[in-house]
Amino acid sequence: MAKDDNGAEHETAAASSSVVRADTSAGTGVVVRNALENPGFPPHRPRITDLNPKEERKAERAVYTLFYLSIVGSVFAIAAYMAFPISAEDPGSVRLNNLFIGLGLSLALLALGIGAVHWGKALMSDHEGVDERHPVRGTDEVRARAVEVFQQANDESGFGRRTLIRNSLIGALIAFPLPAVVLFRGLGPQDLDPVALLNETMWKKGTRLALDPSGTPIKAADLTLGSSFHVIPEGLAEMGHGRLEEKAKAAVLLMRLNPDLLIETPERAGWSYQGIVAYSKICTHVGCPVALYEQQTHHLLCPCHQSQFDVTNHCEVIFGPAKRALPQLPITVDAEGYLIAQSDFTEPVGPSFWERK
Ligand code: FES
């Protein structure tokens, strides 16, 4: 029994139950009057590697073999980096480079992980043990000493007293990361407005739509119902310097649907041709290529974060983190039946974080 400030007696938590430990800190103890008795551990079962030295050696061999395999994977990744360099002239080189470096690193990590797990499970001691929790709160003496040390450090350093030094130090710490911000800004386009850059692509009135990557112009008659194509502006495939930058903005997905399914606003009437529509392939979330077309539902899916766009309804977002529809490229056909652009996109392509017109 304990007395409160008013002198009234009442049962304390500790006294009411034998399961509360004497060193349980205030506020963390839970009084359980009908607690089940701790059944303890089941009897320890030795593993086969504990009983059979042959099996133990086998497990040891497996573990070091996996670790050596991991070394092989790492060396392979380095060799692949040198053997398959990325060439600006050959986009296919990126694929080979990534493939082989990825294979090497995957092997290295996988073998390392499996080896470590196998070591832990088969060879390291597996005797069950109990680690008692201890109160998180320090004792009053420790807490008082911590305050004392802190005050002593403050007195000795003059941090609280010498306000000029303290404030200038805080200012220096705030200013310290700023050069990094400026340096990273330097990696971006200089003196160029990103909104203007993303606002203009290679598409202009009369540019033919061409197959990616061959650059072959596409005739409307070549598109069957339900088909879809990855498209670039004619002439881009032959470009030298800056081709990839232009492609990253101008890439388009071309699809042919039943015209009756298309919901077209009056402003965009005439932007499609007999059910053929063209939309920017650059996701408006963070710019991945929206490359998956589901023909039955007419949905485009961005594999990066699963944004989905409804092709029948101006590629409005129907799911996922993208906040804006894919920009539509107005198209028609020329006198020879080739698909051509009526103009550039009428809004910036790509992620929506840029300020838009
Ligand atoms: S980049 Fe397309 S959903 Fe994130």
Q: Could you please report the per-residue DSSP string of 79-105?
A: HHHHHS--BTTBTHHHHHHHHHHHHHH
Give percent of the chain with pLDDT exceeding 90: 59
Please say if the pLDDT value at position 251 is more than 90: yes
CA of 190 to the centre of ligand 1 (A): 26
Q: What is the pLDDT of residue 27?
A: 58
305 lines ligand 1 (CB under 6 A): yes
Cα angle for residues 141, 145, 146 (degrees, 5° grid): 120
210 lines ligand 1 (CB under 6 A): no
Q: What is the pLDDT of residue 355?
A: 53
Please say if the pLDDT value at position 271 is more than 80: yes
Q: What is the pLDDT of residue 30?
A: 67
Among 144, 133, 147, residue whose Cα is nearest residue 28: 133
Please say if the pLDDT value at position 186 is more than 90: no
Written as six digits, the tokens of 232 are 């670039």
Give percent of the chain with pLDDT exceeding 70: 89
Please say if the pLDDT value at position 18 is more than 60: no
Query: 113 pLDDT band (50/70/90 cuts)?
Result: very high
Query: 42 pLDDT band (50/70/90 cuts)?
Result: confident
Q: What is the pLDDT of residue 183?
A: 79
320 lines ligand 1 (CB under 6 A): yes
Look up the pTM and report it: 0.52
* Three-state DSSP state, 280: strand
Among 228, 203, 200, 214, residue whose Cα is nearest residue 348: 200
CA of 334 to the centre of ligand 1 (A): 34
Please say if the pLDDT value at position 59 is more than 60: yes
302 lines ligand 1 (CB under 6 A): yes
